[in-house]
Structures are given as structure tokens and as C-alpha cells.
Structure 1
Amino acid sequence: MIWLVWTQHRRQFTYTAALVGALAVLLIVTGAVMNSDYHSALAHCGTAGDCGNLGLFQGSGWSALTTTVPLTVGVPILLGVFWGAPLVAGEYEQGTQQFIWTQSIPRRRWLLTKIGWALSAAAVWGSIVAASVTWWSRTENALGHHRFDPFKFDAQGVVPVAYAVFAVALGIAAGAVLRRTLSALGVTVAGFTTLLLVLQSFVRPHYLPTKTANLPLSRLHGGLFSGSWQFGGQLLDPTGQVVGHVVGGNDWNIQQAIPVNCVLNNPDSVRQCLSADGYRMVVHYQPASRYWTFQFIEAGIFLALAAVLVLIAYRAITRRDA
């Protein structure tokens, strides 16, 4: 049975392995050069904080890569479309499953072997892409500390592996239920995209309760929020009344006039002045230390859903007429 699966899908496997390998080589090579550029800049400016303002990615080939590399979040969709959706649906459309089942190979063994190899391949390819992107992104992460941003969070760490397994499982389940490849393709793309957007917008921010910081405005540009996921907050006057809103932890919208002595041209000077007058900020955020916790929580969600989809595919094939 294993040899049969390899014979049926060796071209898909070979082409996918070649593309994933080429992407990994590109990321490793460019990542090494970019990291070298970063350390050269670091040697001239002294600290990583100062280097963040050197425009290392401005006006160079790196700027294009920093825009396109996060798009590897689409790799799981491609795996689900080209591997998961046709895996079972294609068999039904061509009628080849009937021939296999009449060769003393039961449905259960046929299905589990195909699913096992498909999900294992998805996990391997997803791991290679995720590891390559994470390694490549280490320089940008050191400069920007924005790993909670959706396209960065979704393309790095362990979640891309879970995404790949889920997308392939979704394609298999859709193909087993609908028995039409094109229909399974549509369900795979729509289902994966919808679930990811819902988690990004409504679920992910609440994996753990947010923390609240009540600090002087002079701390606004300090290292407290470096790498954190900020949800805004409030600006309080000396009496504790809300007079404005913190925007992203780095700026604010003031809803009433500030003291005359603090009307200055330099924003940093304004912060120092308001802080001296007793103004404070309340910021709601997820600390940077929770990054990997969030990664594993989301990966667990997708893997659990993948297991449910495998069960759906199993029941659809073993309990329905051929």
C-alpha cells in the first residue's frame, strides 16, 4: 500500500519538495547576508536600538524580501489545495478507489495510509518553511520586535506547521465528503482563510488575559513594551480623569487642551513635561514573554481541528457507499 501511494503521488511529492527546498536555500542564503549587514551596521552605531533607525531595509533588496517573505503564510493553503483536496476527491472522480478496494485492500487501510503520508509530508514541508522563515527573520525581529504582527506571527515559529497539517486535513475531509476536487479546493481555501482571520481578529488577543501598565508618560518610549502586543489605552490627568487615548503605546490623541507650559514642538519634550505635571498612561498589552505561549496555543487549536477533520474523512469514506 505504501508503494502504491508513492507511485500515485511521487510527482506531487517531487515537485513540492523541490519548491520547498529552493525556498529554504533562498532564505538561508539571503538571511545569512542580511545578518552580516546587520552586524556591520551594529558595529558602526554601537547598539541595536540605534541601528533600528539606520534604515537597514530601506532602499535595498532587503526591503522587497521583508515584504514578500511573510507571504509564506500562504504555503499551507497551497499544500491543502494541491495535496489535500485531490487526495481522496481525485480517486472518486477517476473511480480508482474501486479498483484498489477490490484488490483485498480495505477502505480503512487505504484511507489511513494515504492520510498518514499526506499529513506527515505536510508537517515536514511546513517545518522546513517555518524554520527557514524564522531563521531568516531573526535580523528583522531584532530591529523591529513586532513578532505579534499577524503576517509575522503566522509565518514564524510552530504555527505554520500546524497550519499545514490542518489545511491538508481540511482538503482531505472536503474531498471525502463532497467527492469533487474543485468543490474541495474552494472549501479548503475559504475554510482555512476564514478560520485564520477569525482567530487573528477575535480569538488570538484573548488566549491569555491582557496586562495593564500604569506609568508616567516619560516611560512611553522605554523598553517596557518592546516586542509586546499593544491594544492601546488611556491618558490620565493628575486627577485620574481620562483626557485622551494611547495609540499603540507610542503616541496619543488628547481630547482636551494640555497645560500651556507643555505646548512644545518636540513630542519627547511634551511627554517629559506632562509626566512632570502628573499625567500618566494606562496601556493594555500582551507582553513579549507570551509569544511562544501564544504560538503553542494556536498550534494546538489547529492540530485539534485537524484531528476532527481526519475523523470526518474517515467516517465519510467508511460509512458511505462507494
Structure 2
Amino acid sequence: MIWVTWRQHRAGMAVLAAVFLGAAGIFLLADALGATAQVVFDAQSGFAELVRIGEQIGAIRLLPLLIGVFVGAPLVSREVEQRTCRYSWTQGVSRIRWLSTKVLLLGAVVLLLSAVYTAVHMWWFEPVAGQQGWFTIYNQAGVVFPAYCLFSFALGVAVGTVVKQSVAAMAITLVGSAAAMIGMWVLRRGFAEPVTVSAPAGSSTVDEMAQGGHIMSFGSGAEISYVTFHPAERFWPFQFTEASIVLALTLFALALAFWWLRRKLS
């Protein structure tokens, strides 16, 4: 069953590898060409500026959505539409084993590749982490990024199992994954009470205290400046809290997929 699954999905896994490793390779190439993080965040032209713009846009944060849409959603729905799954079920392979093999193999690939990308990205960013702050790349670093990749994949599998139509499953997965990410962004703001500091206008105290943290609001008047932020040391507690919630949602989605496949799918 593992060999069959590998042959069936090897093209998709190759595309995943190309995307993740290509994204990681940009940072390796940038470092080799002298576009280190220190250089990039001060760059005004050339390749270093392109890397800086890419960091600021953070397009890679959309990758979990694409994984859910193009890898997770069709995993079951396409086979149900084409009725190819029934051949496996009549060859002594149970439904649970059939889905387990697919989920474990593709899920492991998603987790491994997303973790590699995250490790390379954080290695490249580390020299400026004290100045820019890890919160700058929060959604593309730590344990949150791999967690979202797995969640979108699992959500796609669950939606595809229930809906059974590939196009509809892909659309629902896209909306659902995006809604979950936005919802977690809102929830994240309440993981801890933000800190507010103030100082006389023109003083550098406010900037120094907020450096490296996640700034939520700031302002200044004729006599005083203030900033509300989450301190830099909250990065990892926030990461593990959010990843735990996302992984719980992942397990729920997979449980739904397996239950529906066994009880409801005909």
C-alpha cells in the first residue's frame, strides 16, 4: 500500500519539494551572494532588495492554504469521483488502512519539508532577530508554520471526504483554512496582556523597550510618546500556544475524515 501510494502521489510530492526547497534555497543563495539578513534589511536595490521585499510581503505564509487546496482536498474526493478507491477496498485493503497510509505518507512529507524551510529561514534571519524581532517572521517561523501546513492538509482531507467533489472541496478548504488563520490571528492578540510604556516625547526609551517585540499601537503627543506591544520574549510561548491549538484542530479534522469514511461514505 505504501508503494502504491508513493507511485500515485509522487508527482505531487515532487512539486511540494520543489516549492519548499526552492523557497529555502533563496535564503541559502542570498547568504552565499552576500545578501545576509543584515544587508537585506538595509538594501535599497538589487537582489538584496528583492529578498527584503519578499520578507516584507511574506507570500510564503499562503503556502499552507495551497497545500490544503491542492494536496489535502483532492486526496479522497478525487478518488471517490473517479471510483478508483473502490478497487483498493475490494483488494483486501480496509478503508482505514487506505486513508491512514495516504495521510501518514503525505503528512510526513508536508511536515518534513515545512520544518526544513522554517529551519533555514530562521538560520538566515537570526543575525537581525535582536533588532527586527522574531515576530517579524512569526507566521513563517518556529512551530507555527509547520502546524498550519499540517492543519490545512488535514482540513482538505476532511472536507474532501465529506463533500466528495474535488472542485467544491478545494473551494471550501481554501475558505476554511483562511478563516482559521484569520481567527487565530485575532485570538493570538489575547494570549497575554500587552505591555504599554510611555516616555517624554523625543526620548529613545520607548523605542528601546519595544525593540524586537510585536508592536500593536503607538503614538505621540506634545509631551509624551507611548507604545503598546508584546515583548520579544513572548515569541516562543505564543508559538507553542498557537501551534497546540492548531494541532488540536488538525486532529479533529483527521478524526472527522476517518469517521466519515468508515460510517458515512458509500
Q: Give the TM-score taking structure 1 as reference length.
A: 0.75
Q: Which moved more, 1:171-180 or 1:216-225?
A: 216-225
- Rounded to whole Å, the distance in 2 between the matches of 1:321 and 1:291 is 42
What is the match of residue 271 of structure 1? none
Q: Which runs of 4+ in 1 moved over 6 A?
A: none
- Rounded to whole Å, the distance in 1 between the matches of 2:241 and 2:261 is 31
- Rounded to whole Å, the distance in 1 between the matches of 2:128 and 2:35 is 9
Alpha-carbon offset, residue 3 of structure 1: 1.2
1:60 paired with 2:46, answer yes
- Rounded to whole Å, the distance in 2 between the matches of 1:111 and 1:129 is 27
Alpha-carbon offset, residue 301 of structure 1: 1.3
User: Of the candidates 237, 243, 247, which is equivalent to residue 299 of structure 1?
Assistant: 243
Alpha-carbon offset, residue 197 of structure 1: 1.6
Rate the CA distance shift 1:219–1:123 in 2: closer, same or farther, 3 A. same
Alpha-carbon offset, residue 101 of structure 1: 0.5
What is the match of residue 156 of structure 1? 141
Alpha-carbon offset, residue 284 of structure 1: 3.0
Q: Which moved more, 1:209-218 or 1:79-88?
A: 209-218
Alpha-carbon offset, residue 93 of structure 1: 0.8
Q: Secondary structure of the residue that 2:210 maps to in structure 1?
A: coil
What is the match of residue 180 of structure 2? 195
Structure with bigger gyration radius: 1
| 1:64 partner letter | L
Alpha-carbon offset, residue 199 of structure 1: 2.0
Within-5 A mapping of 1:1-322:
1-34=1-34, 38=38, 56-69=42-55, 70-145=58-133, 147-149=134-136, 152-200=137-185, 202-217=186-201, 218-232=203-217, 246-247=218-219, 252=220, 254=221, 258=222, 274=223, 283-322=227-266
Deviations 1:176-197 (A, max 9, x none): 0000111111112111111112
Alpha-carbon offset, residue 283 of structure 1: 4.0
Q: Which moved more, 1:176-185 or 1:223-232?
A: 223-232
Contact 1:76/1:126 (8 A) holds in 2 = no
Alpha-carbon offset, residue 282 of structure 1: 5.3
- Rounded to whole Å, the distance in 1 between the matches of 2:128 and 2:49 is 11
Q: Secondary structure of the residue that 1:223 maps to in structure 2?
A: helix
Alpha-carbon offset, residue 57 of structure 1: 1.5
- Rounded to whole Å, the distance in 2 between the matches of 1:298 and 1:62 is 32
- Rounded to whole Å, the distance in 2 between the matches of 1:81 and 1:131 is 24
Q: Secondary structure of the residue that 1:148 maps to in structure 2?
A: helix
- Rounded to whole Å, the distance in 1 between the matches of 2:258 and 2:125 is 39
- Rounded to whole Å, the distance in 2 between the matches of 1:308 and 1:321 is 18
Contact 1:80/1:169 (8 A) holds in 2 = yes
Contact 1:34/1:139 (8 A) holds in 2 = no
| 2:164 partner letter | R
Unpaired runs of 5+ in structure 2?
none
- Rounded to whole Å, the distance in 1 between the matches of 2:26 and 2:227 is 40
Alpha-carbon offset, residue 222 of structure 1: 4.6
Alpha-carbon offset, residue 287 of structure 1: 0.8
Rate the CA distance shift 1:309–1:73 in 2: closer, same or farther, 3 A. same
Which structure has more RCO (C-alpha within 8 Å, separation ≥ 6)?
2
Q: Which moved more, 1:72-81 or 1:280-289?
A: 280-289
Instruction: Give the RMSD, CA atoms, in angstroms.
Output: 2.3
- Rounded to whole Å, the distance in 2 between the matches of 1:313 and 1:126 is 23
Rate the CA distance shift 1:311–1:132 in 2: closer, same or farther, 3 A. same
Aligned length: 263
Q: Which moved more, 1:20-29 or 1:135-144?
A: 135-144
Deviations 1:281-310 (A, max 9, x none): 554321111011111111111111000000
Contact 1:35/1:139 (8 A) holds in 2 = no
Rate the CA distance shift 1:88–1:216 in 2: closer, same or farther, 3 A. same
Q: Which moved more, 1:220-229 or 1:29-38?
A: 29-38
Unpaired runs of 5+ in structure 1?
42-51, 233-245, 259-273, 275-279
Alpha-carbon offset, residue 219 of structure 1: 4.4
Rate the CA distance shift 1:285–1:121 in 2: closer, same or farther, 3 A. same
